[in-house]
């Protein structure tokens, strides 16, 4: 679905990505882990077209992800931002339906938003609330509803459990896994949270010193030497 080869990016002469090779297959859930500052966000920004790599290739369905293919890619992806990142001045349903409202009338977009809110465990009474009225866990759920509103083929989860207590984090992880499984979406999750990796991931890739130091099934990670320092329930900080 997405293939990355030889991706390089430096800032001020300092290499952050030093030849990243990574792929994710259709319907697969990939978690990218790595210590703080190893370039996980830079990698995500390169895929999303927010940062231009210095070298390397990103293929989307076998085609280079460039100006010609990017609109197709952008119309088929959803994203759960760290901290949910809801628009303060829009109601919850307007946030969830943000993209839908560009191509359908409000009543139709609202109905889909209410359905997606229900999928993440938020009742119809939350639809007309403002983001400031939501708890952290509710905001994360609303962000998740927005990520899936347009039935994306690829969903990016950026640190999905940041700022949540362990119980809410577990619920969000369970929701994400359920949604990824039932929709068949391809998922890429960037996380410090090994509980998230176990709950959400089929595969895990360790980004270290600008390259993928280990890449394999989550079921094998407990025996992977390069991951030894990251395992247990200790966050990767």
Ligand X SMILES: Nc1ncnc2c1ncn2[C@@H]1O[C@H](COP(=O)(O)OP(=O)(O)OP(=O)(O)O)[C@@H](O)[C@H]1O
Q: Which residues bind ligand X (CB under 6 A)?
A: 11, 16, 34, 36-42
Choose between 137 and 210: whose C-beta lies nearer to ligand X. Answer: 210
Question: Of the two residues 116 and 192, which places its CB atom closer to ligand X in the complex?
Answer: 192
State the Cα–Cα distance between residues 220 and 87, nearest whole angstrom: 40
* In the complex, least distance from residue 163 CB atom to ligand X, rounded to whole angstroms: 13
Taking the complex as a whole, the smallest distance from the CB of residue 99 to ligand X amounts, in Å, to 25
Q: What is the DSSP letter of 30?
A: E
Instruction: Report in angstroms how near the CB of residue 36 gets to ligand X at its nearest.
Output: 3
Q: Taking a C-beta distance cutoff of 8 angstroms, is the pair 10, 184 a contact? A: no
Nearer to ligand X, 75 or 234 (CB): 234
Of 34 and 131, which CB lies nearer to ligand X in the complex structure?
Answer: 34
Which residues have C-beta within 8 Å of that of residue 81, sequence separation ≥ 6? 143, 158
Query: What's the min distance (Å) between Cβ of 151 and ligand X?
Result: 28
H runs (alpha helix) in 80-135: 92-96, 106-119
DSSP state of 150: T
If you search the block for the tokens 């499984």, which residue do you land on?
181
Minimum Å distance from CB 125 to ligand X? 35
Q: Which is nearer to ligand X, 42 or 113 (CB)?
A: 42
User: What whole-number distance in Å separates Cα of residue 58 and Cα of residue 2?
Assistant: 7
Smallest distance, ligand X to C-beta of residue 39, A: 4
* Cα-trace Rg, the chain: 18
Closer residue to ligand X in complex, CB, 120/212: 212
Q: Give the number of residues written for the chain.
A: 237
Query: Cβ closer to ligand X: 17 or 109?
Result: 17
Please give the sequence-ordered ranges of beta strands (E in DSSP) within the chain, or none if there are none: 2-11, 14-24, 29-33, 55-60, 63-64, 77-80, 154-158, 186-190, 203-208, 211-217
Query: d(Cα 200, Cα 196) in Å, to the nearest integer?
Result: 6
């Amino acid at each position: 679905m997405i293939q990355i080869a030889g991706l390089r990016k430096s800032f001020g002469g300092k290499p952050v990505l030093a030849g990243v090779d990574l792929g994710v297959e259709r319907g697969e859930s990939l978690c990218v882990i790595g210590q703080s500052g190893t370039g996980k966000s830079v990698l995500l920004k390169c895929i999303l077209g927010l940062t231009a790599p210095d070298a390397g290739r990103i293929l989307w369905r076998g085609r280079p992800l460039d100006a010609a293919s990017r609109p197709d890619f952008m119309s088929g992806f959803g994203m759960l931002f760290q901290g949910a990142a809801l628009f303060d001045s829009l109601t919850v349903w307007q946030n969830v339906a943000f993209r839908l409202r560009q191509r359908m009338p409000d009543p139709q977009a609202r109905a889909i938003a209410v359905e997606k809110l229900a999928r993440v465990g938020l009742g119809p009474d939350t639809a007309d609330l403002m983001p400031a009225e939501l708890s952290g866990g509710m905001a994360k759920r609303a962000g998740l509803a927005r990520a899936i509103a347009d039935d994306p083929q690829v969903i990016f989860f950026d640190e999905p459990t940041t700022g949540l207590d362990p119980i809410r984090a577990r619920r969000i992880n369970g929701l994400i896994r359920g949604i990824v499984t039932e929709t068949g979406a391809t998922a890429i999750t960037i996380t410090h949270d090994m509980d998230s990796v176990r709950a959400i991931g089929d595969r895990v890739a360790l980004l270290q010193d600008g390259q993928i130091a280990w890449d394999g099934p989550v079921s094998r990670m407990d025996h992977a030497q390069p991951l030894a320092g990251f395992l247990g329930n200790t966050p990767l900080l």
